[in-house]
Amino acid sequence: MMNSAPTPVPPILSLEDVTVRFGGLTAVDAVSLSIGEGELVGLIGPNGAGKTTTFNVIAGVYAPTSGTVRFAGRDLGRSGPADRAALGIARTFQNIRLFGSLSVFDNVRVAMNLHATTGPGHALLRLGRFRDDEANVARRTEELLELFDLLRFRDAPARSLPYGHQRRLEIVRCLATRPRLLLLDEPAAGMNPTEKAGLIELIQRVQKQFSLSILLVEHSMKVVMGCCARIAVLDFGAKIAEGTPAQVQADAKVIEAYLGENHAQSLTHH
């Protein structure tokens, strides 16, 4: 079939009229959103706006009451987090969830299992192929850690790292699963202004170096405005605005949503 126009590339992620109801409460109200390949999109809104629920729907923790979530055009249905990780969706957690008893090295190494070519049988037989694979895994883990200046902590228990390093490690662990879409859940939580600046730089570097699409849920306006090409705003579960940072900042509905709630943050600071 000859066609002069190239087939349009579907957005890497698209939410189509996604609604999530918990009993009588509508947490997410007919939200539609799409993220293009290589885009860095932010999702903001006052407390209780439904950001985390939307995030968790994309991550596969909740199934939507109605609506569809598509990843690279394919309906995700009721697949769980592990299936989505296999498809190329990685996520971080608001309260960092590292494997506390494992070393920094092993936290990343264990994430290499997703694309491993050897399994338990090989671990028992320990033939050449196993040893080669293990060497490859070790090498790739070291490379990743080195890239983010964490290699010097390789043998330390993950829980002994300072908070900022733990955040970084969690992101590095995600990268080990070779994602196409990275979901970041309030990565700036608990950070001071310097750390936030470092985070912005980290997110941008990660996006460029690994050619990722990123969805960033954040409270910190500084981080969101600093990173994102496009921002969607939720309030009471519904999307009330979407656009560039400048557009969103000027949007009357957005201002009212934040000020109307007596929200302490202004839209230009933090």
Applying CB under 8 A, the residues found at the interface with other proteins are 56, 59, 61, 80-82, 85-86, 90-91, 93, 97-103, 105-106, 109-114, 116, 118-120, 122-126, 130, 133-135, 137-139, 142, 157, 173-174, 176-177
What are the C-alpha distances in Å from 207 to residues 39, 171, 202? 9, 11, 9
Residue 211: left if φ>0, alpha if ψ -120 to 50, beta else—which one?
left
Nearest distance in Å: CB 266, other proteins: 29
Query: Residue 62 corresponds to which amino acid?
Result: Y
- DSSP letter at 103 equals B
For residue 27, the minimal CB distance to other proteins (Å) is 13
Strand spans (E) along the chain: 13-22, 25-35, 40-44, 66-71, 74-75, 89-91, 181-185, 213-217, 230-235, 238-243
Query: Which CB atom, from 87 or from 238, has the smaller least distance to other proteins?
Result: 87
Write down the least CB distance from residue 12 to other proteins, Å. 18
Select 139 or 208, whichever has its Cβ closest to other proteins: 139
Choice between 5 and 124, CB closer to other proteins: 124
Q: 70-76 long-range contacts, Cβ below 8 Å, gap at least 24?
A: 70/10, 70/11, 70/13, 70/14, 70/15, 70/16, 71/12, 71/13, 71/181, 72/10, 72/12, 72/180, 73/10
| Least distance (Å) between residue 228 CB and other proteins | 23
Give least dist CB 151 to other proteins, A.
8
The answer to whether the CB of 71 falls within 8 A of the CB of 84 is: yes
Cβ-based nearer residue to other proteins, 31 or 98:
98
Closest approach, Cβ 202 to other proteins, in A, equals 19
61/255 with CB nearer other proteins: 61
Nearer of residues 51 and 196 to other proteins, judged by Cβ? 51
